Amino acid sequence: MKKVTVGNQQVLVVNLKGRYYAIGNVCTHFGGSLDRGILDGNEVECPLHHSHFDVTTGQVKRGPATRAEPVYEVKAENGSILVKPK
């Protein structure tokens, strides 16, 4: 997992078995930095109040968060990882 900035947005980029995914990095519940959380399979746990988000879809898997994370398009090209809003 790695935090990057796209425009003025913090984005979490995750490599799952060689495939890249990107969702918002700021927890929709209370603003925790997801890059400081724990990745277990395809779920990242927020370090503040332990909400879980699916890094492949942005969907909340366990609250207290109720709003999904924004999802970004990711493409690996010429050794670089390109991220843009969907």
Which CATH number is 17's domain given?
2.102.10.10
Q: What is the mean pLDDT of residues 46-52?
A: 97
Q: What's the token pair of residue 57?
A: 């879809």
- 47 φ/ψ angles, rounded to the nearest 5 degrees: -75, -15
CA distance 73 to 16: 15
pLDDT tens, residue by residue, 6-18: 989 999 999 999 9
> What is the band of 58 on the pLDDT scale with cuts at 50, 70, 90?
very high
pLDDT greater than 90 at residue 86: no
pLDDT tens, residue by residue, 18-35: 999 999 999 999 999 999
Number of domains in the chain: 1
Residue 42 in contact with residue 56, Cβ under 8 Å? yes
